[in-house]
């Protein structure tokens, strides 16, 4: 399948962006909420972009820890990282350098991270990134139950793109090199 490397690059950027966005609040806070192990469905809607449909992700604590570690690595590029947790609500305000621009993000996540949560992420880019000066995204995640037979932690099922494993992808030297070039 010749399209697989390009498809994986696009999917990995999207997947990593979604995962970091949905986990950033927990990844950087000392008392971060943990997602329940099992199969999660995450739907996103970015303003002005057609929805590709929800993704499904089989996670365990190691998978969430890998995503948190990735988010912590990105923290070095941030001059501001303000995270507040109050009850079932987490708010995040950050200012980070990425790809030659400064991204200012304001996000709010509400829910029970062991069963379901919703979030909004608003970002402003200065100068605009790839012609985009701002972006608004909503996400909704819910725990579906145990992972399906044959699935392993890190497996992600994306509509029209099939199955990939984020744990294996993040350890792949080619993926790591691609992520370094993204900075």
Nearest to 144 by CA among 67, 66, 68, 54: 54
* Domain region containing 164: 4-182
pTM more than 0.95: no
Question: What is the count of structural domains for the chain?
Answer: 1
Q: What is the pLDDT of residues 21-61, one digit of tens each?
A: 433 433 333 345 678 899 999 998 888 888 888 989 898 88
What are the residue ranges of helices labelled H in the chain? 4-28, 61-74, 166-171, 173-182
Name which residue leads in pLDDT, 110 or 100: 110
pLDDT averaged over the chain?
Answer: 76
Nearest to 42 by CA among 138, 170, 169: 138
What is the Cα 107 distance to its own chain's centre? 13
């Amino acid at each position: 399948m010749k399209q697989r490397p390009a498809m994986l690059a696009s999917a990995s950027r999207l997947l990593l962006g979604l995962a970091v966005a949905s986990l950033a609040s927990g990844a950087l806070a000392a008392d971060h909420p943990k997602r329940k192990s099992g199969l999660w469905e995450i739907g996103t809607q970015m303003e002005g972009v057609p929805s590709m449909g929800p993704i499904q992700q089989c996670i365990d604590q190691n998978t969430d820890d890998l995503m948190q570690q990735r988010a912590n690595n990105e923290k070095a590029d941030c001059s501001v990282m303000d995270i507040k947790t109050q009850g079932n609500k987490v708010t995040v305000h950050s200012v980070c350098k990425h790809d030659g621009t400064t991204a200012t993000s304001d996000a709010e996540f509400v829910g029970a991270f062991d069963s379901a949560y919703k979030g909004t992420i608003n970002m402003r880019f200065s100068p605009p990134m790839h012609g985009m000066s701002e972006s608004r995204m909503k996400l909704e995640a819910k725990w579906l139950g145990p992972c399906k037979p044959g699935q392993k932690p890190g497996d992600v099922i994306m509509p029209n793109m099939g199955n990939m494993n984020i744990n294996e992808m993040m350890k792949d030297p080619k993926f790591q090199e691609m992520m370094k070039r993204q900075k």
